[in-house]
Structure 1
Amino acid sequence: MQTNLVQEFAAQPEGQEAEAILRSCVHCGFCTATCPTYQELGDERDGPRGRIYLMKMFLEGHETTERTQEHLDRCLSCRACETTCPSGVQYGRLLDISRGLMEDRIERPARERWLRQALLRVLPNRRLFGSLLRVGQLARPLVPEPLRSKIPPRREASPWPAGSHPRKVLALAGCVQPSATPNTNAAAARVLDRLGITLVEAPAAGCCGAVSYHLGEHGDGLDYMRRNIDAWWPAIENGAEAVVMTASGCGAMVQDYGHLLKDDPAYADKARRVSELTMDLGAFLLQQDLGSLGLAKGQGKVAFHCPCTLQHAMKQSGVVEQVLEKAGITLAETTDKHLCCGSAGTYSVLQPELSQRLLANKLAALTVDQPDEIVTANVGCQLHLETRASVPVRHWIELLDR
C-alpha cells in the first residue's frame, strides 16, 4: 500500500513503524472473515481492513473526527486478523500506535474522559482495586442486576508451598488477579512445586502496563514495564529459568517489552531478556515431565476457552489443551474457537452492548457439548464468562491442583 505520512508523524519512530506496517497490507480482506466486530456489525469501518484505511488517513493528515475514533474504540485488539493475514500485517501494533497518537489530538466527551481516567487510576493499582472490590463484594446482595453479576464472588487462595527448590521461575501477580482470582497463582505454585520448581512473585512487580498502553497512555504503560523489569532483574541475574505467565493478557504484553523499550538505552537489553524468558504457563508445563502429577479423576467434561491473547498474540493455540489431555482431562467440543469472548481488557466496560453480544456468542460456542465447567487462561476472560455462564468458570491450572 502506498503511504504519504505527514511530516509530524513521519519524523517519529512510531510513525515510521506505522508506515512500514501500512505498506505491508495488500487489502485482500481475508481478515474480515475472522473479525468479531465485523461479523456482528457488518460495517467495513468496524473490520481490520476498514480500520487500516482510517488509520492511514489519520497518519496522512486527513480530517479525523470522533467518529473515526469510535470505530477504532470498537476494535477488541483480539488480533484474530493477524492470525488470518497472509501478509503478516502487525495490525495490533498499528492500532496501539494510532490510538496513542489520536488520543493526544482528539478531545473525548467529558463522560468518556472520566470513565477512562477512572479505569486508568483504579485497575493498575492493585491495592485500590482490591479495596474497592471488597466493598463491592460486601454490598453485592444489595446491588441490582445486571451490576451484581459483574462483581465476582470472594475467593480464597490455596496455601503456597512452604519449601523451595533449586529450579525457580518468576510469576507476575498483576493488578486484578490477586484480589479477583487469588487462587490462580497459588494453584500454579502448588503444581510447579510437585514438579520440583519454585514459583516466585516479586513483591514490587505490579500491572504489566497493558491497561494504560492499550488506552493510549503509552508513557504510563512504559513506566509500569520498567518497574516490573527492575523488580524481576535480581532473580533473573540469579538464574530464574523463565517468567511464567498465568494471565495471557499480561503475557502478551510482557512478551513485547523488548520491542516497546528497544529505544530506551537504560532498559533495552533488560527488556529484551525479559521478553526472551516470558512463557505462558501452559507452554512451560508442556516442556516438563508431567508424569509425577498423575491423572486427573472425577473432573467431568471441561470446555477450554483459549483467550485471544493466548492464541493470536502469544501464538499458543492448542498448547493448554495438550497439557490438559496429558493430565487426563476430558475436553468438551467447542466451536468458533478463534472468536473473542468480549472481555478484551477494559472493552467490557467501555463497549458494554457489543461486549455482551460477543459474550452470548462465545458461551453458546463453549457449551454446545454440555460441559460440566469452563476453564480459561486469562483473568479477564474468566471474570467476563462467569457473569452469564450456566456452569462454573475457573483458570485451567486449578484442574491440576489436587
Structure 2
Amino acid sequence: MQTHLTDWARQLPRAEEAQAILRSCVHCGFCNATCPTYLDQGNELDGPRGRIYLIKMFLEGEATSELTQHHLDRCLSCRNCETTCPSGVKYHALLDIGRSALEPRVQRPLKARAVRVALARILPEPGRVQALLGAARAARPFLPDSLKEKIPQKDAGSTARPAPRHEWRVLMLEGCVQPAMAPSINAATARVLDRLGISVTPIAQAGCCGASSYHLGAQEQGLEQARRNIDAWWPQIEQGALAIVQTASGCGAFVKEYADLFKDDPVYAEKARRVSELARDLVEVLEELPLETCLDARERPRLAFHCPCTLQHAQKLGGRVEAVLTRLGFELGAVPDGHLCCGSAGTYSLTEPDIARRLRDRKLDALESSQPDVIATANMACGNHLNSAGRTRVRHWIELVDEHLAAPA
C-alpha cells in the first residue's frame, strides 16, 4: 500500500522499517482468518489488517486517540498472522513501532498506567516477583475469585541441580517470573542435560530477557535488560559456551530478536548478533541428543501438547516438541485449532482478562478433546494461564521427560 508519512514520523528511529512493512501489505485479509482477537471480537480493527491501517493513519498524521491505542493493546502479539500472510509482512515489528510512537502521545487512564508501571517494575525482578507471590498466596483466602485463579500453587517439583562437571557447557536464561513460580523447570532441564553430558553454567547476573517491559511500552527498559544479559553472558561465550538455552519459548523468541533490536547499536550490534546465533529453544538442543538411552521403561501418561505461539509462530518450531515426545514413547492426542493462542501472551492475561479468559477456555476445550492425562507445554506463562482454569493439569514438557529418566548406572 502507498504511504505518506508525516515529517515527525519520518524522524522516528525505525521510520524506514515502518514504511517498508506498510508497503509490503496488500490488504488481502488472510491474516484475519487466523487472528484470535478478530475471531473473538468480529471487529476489523481487532485484526491485523485493521491495526495496520490504524498505525498507517497515525503515522500519516491522522488524529491519535484512545481508540487506536485500545485496539493495538488488544493484540496478543501471537504472530499467527505472520504464519498466514502470503506477503511476509513483519506485523510484529510494525506493532512495536506503532505502540512505541503512540505511547507518549496518548495518556492512558490512571488505573491502566498504574498497572503497566507496576508490571514493568515487578515482573523483570525475580526477588520482587517472589515477594509478591508469597504475599498473594498468604492473602489468597481473602481475594476475589478473579484474582485467586491467577495465583499458582506452590511448585512441588524438585529444584535440585547437578554441579557443572562436563566439558560441554551451555548457558541457560533463568528468566524473571519462572524462577519464582516454577523453579523446577530450569532444574529439570539441568538434570536432563547433565545425563546427556552437558553442564549448565549458571550466570547470576543474567535475568529477564526484556520482553515483558518491551511489550508493555517501556521499550528502553526492555533493551537495557537485554544489554545486561549480553554483558553477563559474553565472558562465557568467549570461553566457548555451546549455546544459550531457553526453557520458556516466549523468552527464546525475544532473545533471538536481539540481533535485529541492536543492529544499529555500535556497541552491541555484533555481540547481539552472536547471542541470537547461540540462542536455542530447549527442543533444538534435545532433539539432536540420544535421550532414549536415559529413559526408564515405565508407562507414559497420555498427553496433549499445547504449542505456544512463541514456539510455532515466532520461532517456527511447531511440531518439534511433539516429535521428541513421540520418539520417547509418549502418546499425544490431536489438538484441533492448535495454531490459535491460549490468551496468556505474557502480561496480556492481566491487562485484557476477559478476552484472555475466553481464549483460555476455548484452548482447553481443544486440548481436552482427546482426554489426556496431562497437558504439556513449552512456556511457563501459558501453563500458568491454562492451569488457572482448574481443569486438566498443565506441565512443562521437560518435567515429564525428567521424571522418566532411568536411575544412573
What is the TM-score when the length of structure 1 is the normalising length?
0.98
Output the CA distance in 2 between the equivalents of 1:287 and 1:103: 43
Q: How does 1:31-110 map to 2 (within 5 A)?
A: 31-110=31-110
Contact 2:64 2:105 in 1 (8 A): no
Identity %: 57
After superposition, what is the alpha-carbon deviation per residue over 1:172-211, rounded to whole angstroms, capped at 9, x for unaligned?
Answer: 1111000101100000001111100012231001111101
Q: Is the 8 A contact 1:205 1:227 kept in 2?
A: yes
Q: CA deviation at 1:389?
A: 4.1
Runs of 5+ consecutive residues of structure 1 not aligned to the other structure? none
Structure 1 residues 296 and 285: CA distance shift in structure 2, 3 A: farther
Q: Distance in 2 between matches of 1:258 and 1:295?
A: 40
1:17-39 CA distance string (max 9 Å, x none) = 11111111101111011000001
2:386 is matched with 385
For the 8 Å contact 1:195–1:292, the answer to whether it is kept is no
* Correspondence 1:165-176 to 2 at 5 A: 165-176=166-177
The equivalent residue for 2:143 is 143
Q: Distance in 2 between matches of 1:261 and 1:198?
A: 29
State how far apart, in whole Å, the 2-side matches of 1:347 and 1:296 are: 40
Name the CA distance, whole Å, in 2 between partners of 1:122 and 1:290: 37
Please give the secondary structure, in 2, of the residue aligned with 1:146: helix
Q: Does 1:337 align with 2:347?
A: no
Kindly state the Cα deviation for residue 163 of structure 1 after the two structures are TM-superposed: 4.5
Identify the residue that residue 200 of structure 1 maps to in structure 2.
201
| Structure-2 separation of matches of 1:296 and 1:263 | 52
Deviations 1:50-100 (A, max 9, x none): 110001001111111000110111110000000000100000110011101
Using the alignment, how far apart are the partners of 1:154 and 1:92 within structure 2? 34
Q: Distance in 2 between matches of 1:208 and 1:122?
A: 14
What's the counterpart of residue 179 of structure 2? Answer: 178
1:224 partner letter? Q
Letter in 2 for 1:192: L
For the residues of structure 2 that align with 1:381 and 1:152, how far apart are their CA atoms?
A: 12
TM-superposed deviation, 1:218: 1.3
Matched, 1:3 2:11: no
2:21 maps to amino acid? I
SS at match of 2:336: coil
- Per-residue CA deviation, residues 352-391 of structure 1 (Å, 9 max, x unaligned), is 1111110111000100011101111111101100011422
Secondary structure of the 2:186 match is: helix
Contact 1:167/1:241 (<8 A) preserved: yes
What letter is aligned with 1:22?
Answer: L
Contact 2:164 2:200 in 1 (8 A): no
Map 1:152-167 → 2, pairs under 5 A: 152-156=152-156, 157-167=158-168
Structure 1 residues 26 and 153, CA, compared in 2 at 3 Å: closer, same or farther? same
Please state how far the C-alpha of 1:217 moved relative to its aligned partner.
1.4
Report the Cα offset of residue 162 of structure 1: 2.8
Aligned to 2:283: 282
**Which whole-Å CA distance do the structure 1 matches of 2:326 and 2:298 have between them?**
12
The residue type paired with residue 177 of structure 2 is V
**Shift in alpha-carbon separation, 1:204–1:330, aligned structure 2, 3 A:** same
DSSP 3-state at the match of 1:147: helix
Tell me the distance in 1 between the aligned counterparts of 2:164 and 2:23: 54
Residues 340 and 358 of structure 1 are in contact (CA less than 8 Å); yes or no, is this contact kept in structure 2? yes
One-letter code aligned to 2:120: L
Task: Return the letter of the residue paired with 1:299.
Answer: R
- Determine the C-alpha separation between the residues in 1 that align with 2:155 and 2:201: 21
2:398 equivalent in structure 1: 397
CA contact (8 A) 2:3 2:60 kept: yes
User: SS at the partner of 1:330?
Assistant: coil
Question: 2:368 touches 2:392 (CA, 8 Å); kept in 1?
Answer: no
Structure 1 residue 296 displacement after superposition: 5.9
- Give, in angstroms, the shift of residue 295 of structure 1: 5.4
Equivalents in 2 of 1:190, 1:354: separation in Å? 38
When structure 1 is superposed on structure 2, of 17-26 and 2-11 the one drifting more is 2-11
- Equivalents in 2 of 1:147, 1:353: separation in Å? 13
Paired residue for 2:299? 298
Check conservation: 1:155, 1:182, Cα contact below 8 A. Answer: yes
Secondary structure of the equivalent of 2:149? helix
Question: Deviation of residue 288 (structure 1)?
Answer: 1.6
Q: Please list every run of 5 or more consecutive structure 2 residues that lacks an aligned counterpart in the other structure.
A: 404-409
Decide whether the 8 Å contact of 2:24 with 2:87 is kept in 1. Answer: yes
Aligned to 2:114: 114
Residues 302 and 374 in structure 2, CA contact (< 8 A), matched pair in contact too: yes
CA distance in 2, matches of 1:164, 1:327: 26
**SS of the counterpart of 1:225?**
helix
What is the distance in 2 between the residues matched to 1:11 and 1:121? 29
- Residue 158 of structure 1 deviates from its aligned partner by 3.1
Partner in structure 2 of residue 231 of structure 1: 232
Quote how far apart the aligned CAs of 1:12 are: 3.0
Task: State the match for 1:268 in structure 2.
Answer: 269
1:294 positional shift: 2.5
> What residue in structure 1 maps to residue 15 of structure 2?
15
- Residue aligned with 2:313, SS: helix
CA–CA distance in structure 1, aligned partners of residues 10 and 297 of structure 2: 56
Distance in 2 (alpha carbons) for counterparts of 1:286 and 1:169: 16
Tell whether the 8 Å contact from 2:189 to 2:398 is kept in structure 1 after alignment. yes
SS at match of 1:13: coil
Partner of 2:407: none
Read off the aligned partner of 1:177 and give its amino acid letter.
Answer: Q
RMSD: 1.2
Amino acid in the other structure paired with 2:286: L
Q: How many residues align?
A: 402
Q: CA deviation at 1:283?
A: 1.4
CA contact (8 A) 1:44 1:50 kept: yes
